[in-house]
Amino acid sequence: MPERGAPEIPVSLVSLRVNGTWLSLRLDNRTTLLDALREHLDLVGAKKGCDHGQCGACTVLVGGRRANSCLLLAVACDGSDVTTVEGLAEGERLHPVQEAFVAHDALQCGYCTPGQICSAVGMLAEAAEGHPSYATAPDRLAADSSPGQGAPEPFDALEIRERMSGNLCRCGAYPNIVDAIAEAARS
């Protein structure tokens, strides 16, 4: 019960397509996408690590692009297509990035893993579209590159580390994370 005389808390009706299913939620405008997923939809794969966009544990795909769900207001995502780690597998068949993380033992405690995997899926799509990174050599960066030309070459550990720097792993599983992503990039 709101206190008598207390101002009404503004809410909005928010439509999201989450892991392929359209949903409608009535949310306090202050609700982040992360809280909408975890507290309202029981999708607890994305983690609330720092809640300030510094650790990447909350990473999901919005419109196919990786984003920190802790810094997105759910109301501002109205009409968006959201994929969480729960939506990557096709039935019992894991996503190739998930397979690679298992094969390379790319985790220890696992807390950052959903964010790492969603980030890697988004990152590989960016690379396939020809997006450069800060690790891309200046002459390659400045070379005329039209979209859709495939991953920059060489797509080595330096590129992977730079492109994945928004995802921290406190256990320090980075070497195996890089190996897993390198394998997924090849496949």
Residue numbers at the binding site for other proteins (CB under 8 A): 7, 9-10, 12, 28-30, 32, 51-53, 56, 59, 65-68, 71-73, 75-76, 78, 119, 122-123, 126, 129-134, 136, 138-139, 141-147, 161-167
* For other proteins, the closer CB: 45 or 132: 132
Nearer to other proteins among residue 108 and residue 145 (C-beta):
145
Least distance CB 128 / other proteins (angstroms): 12
Is residue 59 within 8 Å of residue 118, measured between CB atoms?
yes
Q: Considering the complex, what minimum distance in angstroms separates the CB of residue 133 from other proteins?
A: 6
What span, in angstroms and rounded, lies between the C-alpha atoms of 77 and 180?
31
CB closer to other proteins out of 2 and 102 = 2
Q: Report the residue number, 103 or 150, with the smaller CB distance to other proteins.
A: 150
What does DSSP assign to residue 38?
Answer: I
Query: Tokens 């969480």 correspond to what residue?
Result: 84
Q: Taking the CA atoms of the chain, what radius of gyration do you get in angstroms?
A: 18
Q: CB of 70 within 8 A of CB of 32? A: yes
Smallest distance, Å, CB 39 to other proteins? 15
Q: If we measure between CA atoms, which residue out of 80, 77, 82 comes closest to residue 27?
A: 77
Which stretch of DSSP H or E encloses residue 68?
Answer: strand 65-68
Smallest separation, CB 134 to other proteins (Å):
4
